[in-house]
Structure 1
Amino acid sequence: MALSLKRRYLKMPLTRIVSFTFGGFVALSIALVLFLSVKANVRNTFSLLNDKAILLTSSMEERLRDHFLAVEQAVTDLRPFFERGEIDFNDKDAGLELMKVAVATSSRLTVLVATDLKGENFGVFQAPNGRLWPFKRQLPPGGDRTYVLPDLTAASGPTWGPILNNDIGQFANVSVPIVRNGRMIGTLTAASSLDSLAESIRSLDEGVENTTFVMVNGDEILVHSDRDAFQSGGKGQAPLPASAEAFGDPVLAQLAQADVLDGFAKAARLGIEVSRLELGRRDYVIMKAVVPGYSTEPWVIGQYFRGATISREVERLMGSALVGIAAMIIAALVAFWLGRVVARPLKKLAEQSRAVATLSLENVDPLPRSRVAELDQVAQAFNSMVVGLRAMNTYVPRSLFHKLMRLGGSQAADAREARLTILFTDIVGFTALSETMSAAQTARYLNAHFAVLVAAVEDEGGTVDKFIGDGMLAFWGAPDARSDHAEAAVRAARRIARDLEVFNDQASARGEPCVRMRIGIHTGPAVVGNVGALDRWNYTVVGDTVNVTERLQTLGRELGSGDGVVILASADTVAELPGERGAERAGDFSLRGRSTQLEVFKLDPAAVPDTAAGTQRRVAGGGSFPPSAAE
């Protein structure tokens, strides 16, 4: 039932599919572009802005976090030295040496200081010129007001203090508790100048139409990329850090009044707010995000640009859309023409491929050459393939080809052991017969003879292995497994006998000698599959079962010397012939190369099996079929 419910597919000619479907698709694309161009362009522009907001804000946040992570890592990595006693408040000189190494190896550290519970401290200060100043109790000139000690407990983690300003710059600071034996004994603090961070963030500014900024403590501006020339006109009125109002940037001064824009859900999910602010006849788009954790107040990072940028983008996209429409109209026309040019040879290829799939190679016509390089290459390769298949099919049976293709080729051909039924034939007295014929006559005679044998084997689903002189080796049960392989082999043998009778009648009418034949059939285990080496392989059967079959055929000289066709089968084969009428027990025989005797049956070439399979009946010679265990 499952096999009969195969899915059916709608099939269409390739020419129609390529020409009309592809051409129609292009035409439909043109109509859709005409209808959706403006909407799509605006949507794409906002999508790009969405991605831009995410990319820019993420880049700013990444630089911010990278900068402060290095500062935080410095105190985290140095704290164990205090807690293990390798650095001690009573031996400040040894501690200063390690702290100098920590500051010297990090360009982001300005001050590294250890403070005990009494408020006494020591540490290292890195001056703007890069010089390191170790100090005890008091920071060098210019290093004061770079950090604030927060209230910590033994369980506190890294804690950031407020942003501090002095004559040499802005500083962020982080502190960790120093704990020994479960008791807090002091504080380790690192301070970092924000000058390098500000320069790194200002480098993200994309030009005069974009302004990047960093704010903290509500409206205090730390970084501003256009402090010398605002987009709105004017310039910064106060050195940074400064409040937005004191600095004089009207966009940041009115940041709280900006209206949040819809259409930026992707950015919003990442904590990025996109808003719009109108200032007189100009409007601005602002992208910002809040970054907590590196001061007592959250940081606000972002960028703003004039809204006219979006209008220009839409105008450019509209112009590109018009050019695209014209190009697609041309493409639609070319698609119809190319579809027909390409599809015609492919249609021819499909037609010829159907014949190749069934190995009807005599019905395959050569494909014509093409001016399209790839199609011409395909045509030449196909024609060469057909020539090769025709040559191969001369030596490999078509039935075996079909079976291996159906079963999966390489896996089906792997050598394996299987229970098979082997059939071996041989012409009686062919050597003497061939002495009266020329080489051409001998070849024609054998070809006609083997045609009869091959037709009988293949019609019964068998596989012709090889021709050995005037003999033939065939088998059933591989490559496709079947339970009735013994019955099929016997049917093929009897058909050979019937067809040989017709063949002899025709030969006699032509004045040619008649043929007598011996056939051996045996069932048993054998190795079947690819046997050979390198590039010379044969799909064949080997093993004792094959040898026994050949010996049975040879035994026919004794048991059927006067018969036109003698068919000898082993008891193993006869045991698998339910309803067999014409099996006569010939006896037990010692075959060459075997240490034990083999029970042999002589089959009547003209007998017809009983369709009521499995009934036991007496056979000629006093035996029973199937043979009893006693026999």
Structure 2
Amino acid sequence: MSAARRLCQGRGVVFAFCLMVGLVLFSLAPAFALDQVSLQLKWKHQFQFAGYYAAVEKGFYRDSGLEVDVREGGPGVDAGAEVAKGAADFGVCTTSVLVNSAMRANNVVLGVIFQHSAAIILVPHRAGIHVVSELKGHRLMDASGSDDIAAMLKHEGVDYASLPRVTHAGDPRDLLSGKAGAMVAYSTSEPYLFEEYGTPYLFFSPRAYGFDFYGDNLCTSKQQVAKHPERVRAFRAASLKGWAYALAHKEEIVDLIRRNYSTQKDRKALLFEAARTELLIRPHLMPIGHQSIERWKAIAQAYVDIGMLNEAKLPEWLIYVSDDGGWRAQLKEPQLWGLLALAIVSILGLIGYRRNARVFGELRLSGVMSGLFVLLSIPVLIFILVYNYQQNSAAINATLNDVVTKTKQASIEDAGNLINPVAATLELLATVAAQDPTTFKQEESRELLYRALTSAPQIDAVYVSLEDGYHRVVTRIDDDRRRADSKIPASANWHSSYIDSFAGSPRRVRHRTFFDAWPRIVGNYDVDTILDIRTLPGYQAAKEVRALIVEEPSINPDTGYPIISVRFPIVKDGAFIGCASANITLNVLSRFLTSHRASARGTTLIANPANRTIIAAPDLHKIVRKQDNRVEIAKLDTIADENVREAYRLHSETNSDDFLFRSPQNGEEISASFTPFPGSFGKPWEVITLTPTDDFVGTLKRTNRQMIVLITALTGIELLLIYVFSRRLSRPIEGVSRELRLVEDLTFSHAAPASSNIKEIKELQTAVSLFETSLRSFSSFVPLDVVRKLIKTGTPLTLGVEERFLTVLFTDLEEFSGLAEHMAPNDLLAQLSVYFEAVSHAIAEESGTVDKFIGDGIMAFWGAPVYRDDHVLRACCGAMRAMRRMQLINVDWSRQGRPSLHLRIGLHCADVLVGNVGSSERLSYTVMGDGVNVAARLEGINKTFGTAICISDSVVEAIGPSIVARPIKKVQVKGRKREFMIYELLGIRASDDPELKASDDAVRLCELTLKASLHFERGELDHAAPRYDDILRAFPDDGVAKSMLAACLPPAEATTIAAPAK
């Protein structure tokens, strides 16, 4: 190729690269569309619409080319309907777009601003309405558009349409004046005035009754989306940007509202609204504007369940699917640069391949195809993976937020249910006492107190205390109280007592009565007391404010567990005369918190941030702690839970209510949320929810991981397929060749090779598989070393032997014939298999070759076909291992009631013939010669002397210093004329292996036997006999000493010992 041509090609590549970069950067440029549009609010100007004010003031709309006319709403204005009929381009609508036919047919929800509805029913405490069902017959100050309110009322059996209505002017003072008994309000606004006035109130939230609807939504019409898609996209993006700014700069936007829009609310009220609004938007947990199709379906189903909608099917156009400026806007900056980097790498890879093709030489097809696939496909797959992970992460955060919010709301509702029923009961007792203060000075009144006590499981004690000091109480009796007072009868379950007033005498007595089953009395006693309920802080507070008082938790001295005291003043003719009180245990609330957690390992607590006191926790033991030998309520910074302490520390330092942190225990990510109780509760408590994100969203995260694995696997599979097919085209028998190389080393593959559809390759694979199977079977009958040598050298298997110095071993079982006669065949076979397995493994571990199995015996040898210099020592080690292992096996068999198999071994080394013998059709690789016969005779000699391993003098001569062996005597075996010395092998010298090491007794026995044997071999029988007798005294069961002592007594004329027959 000419230089000019290469230069042209190089310039072409560079031009293509520059063009691609230019297109990417050009795609990032925003599009502007100047236009005038209108935005209809659903109510009067307030912080509820702060994001739109911020978008106007900060120029976000203007930067998007929009001139926005923000129209104030109010009573009688339905923003969703205005959008549906085309009177407004955009509007703030509610979930009523699902049920209103006009809005359902035309409206499109661009984004959800309020993830939870702010709609509530507000009730002053004086109205006496404690549950939703009690709203029946009361006048309701109502405003249209709160479908979740209607759903809650219908669910609770209240006919919404039949309630007397009062015009809603948006002023809660109308409710305070008595104009209505209840008011449809927003939790972000109207409660502020009640708290400012110090007026006790309750509110009913649809969310607490299972109707968790979206709140304010930004919507437009189908026509706007179809005709002006860029306008819609730009308006949505600018609005969401405005909301993010407004929540980050609340005070600035509050001042803006009062300056440019409305002064109806003072600055403090708007800041109150701003804080409550952020709790409903949840910007820290999910993107502003996020909406979920699953959540919309759940809302639609709720409408169906209460009969407000016929079917839960959503209009296909309802949820706006925004590209937010296209894929370029969805990508985060790191993702964009990553994608650009991948494109650059791909281009440089192509340039490098073209310029270096000659350097690389001939390339394999598999390599070329795989490289092209990586360069062209991997960047796209990585982009898809990252984008999908981003979307899934947003869904995870939304789901987590929903469940955590529901958990917190349920905890607040349950805490209210813990106290509200008790308050109602105390109010009833106070009413009775006010009518006749002497009622509770009579014994009959304890029945009324008992009924009040048993009206709720959380009540531990109910009592009425009067200003004259008189006090009457009914309590439960549990094990803690029994332990605290030994006078309480063991069978008592209830207790009633009263304390005399100060009027009768300065000496006050507590009269105590105990019951097993109410009202059966099982005991009573009187005791002096100095208790004066009037001095307690809760009593004084009730006297001062003349209203319900809920005290902070305190430790019950009888039980050691925390209680909450609730007091209601008794007022007669305007004068305070006492208190009706109850002690509430937190067991019920703790059990509720245990069963209502956001996740399996989540934790929900209730605490008082003012003094850091723990009110309730799933584990009661964590609520209390011992300090200086006294029990006290645990605090957020001292509770025995590292995660709670860390969350409280971060909450205090950052002043953030919702955040993520790492557990100091194990480093896992935990979502923390601090939510205050509503002002109507009367106590500054808050719900703390800690949720391990992995525990809660584990399924979604596993899905993300599985998707990563799936895409990676698919990519790998594609690469593999390209590689496999190209290899099949270029080298179809490479796999077969690899199998043959494995066979050469006798490394048999247990995995079946990949099947081929090509006929010739398939036939070749079948042939190789048959060859491998045949060779594996052949190796089971012929020593592996022999087979390996034949394959390596290529020598044909023929008849022939060679002389070689080897070590030969024979084994046999003692009294096997007798055992075979009495044992069942299957039992005998099972034990023989264990014996053969143990001895064969011992031989193989020392590189020995098992020649054959002869009945109950085994023949083996060392030094062939692979010669080893240390074959004699290895043979002795193999014999010792076989013997020690059989001894352990016999111990186990004895415990099982099975007969033992006692092993005898003969070992000899000599020059023998080794090789293939037999016929031309059937061969056997074996050893033969006089040395083999000697080894067999030595095995039999064990029976004569009661030994286990009998070795010849040639073994001792070869490795004597390395073994522990004692001499027996010179013998002449059958077939040999010359006598030779035989020995008993007792162990391997200088070995720490428990299977080889000789015991101290064995070493001593060897030394004693050597001295006796020297005398015996010199014919000094008179000296030898005492030595053998000494051995028997030390080792009474020694067979060698017994035999040799017997040989010393009468003169021995011949020493020909034949191998005994079995």
Smaller-chain TM-score bracket: 0.3 to 0.5
* Greater RCO, 1 or 2 (C-alpha within 8 Å, sep 6+): 1
Query: TM-score scaled by structure 1?
Result: 0.41
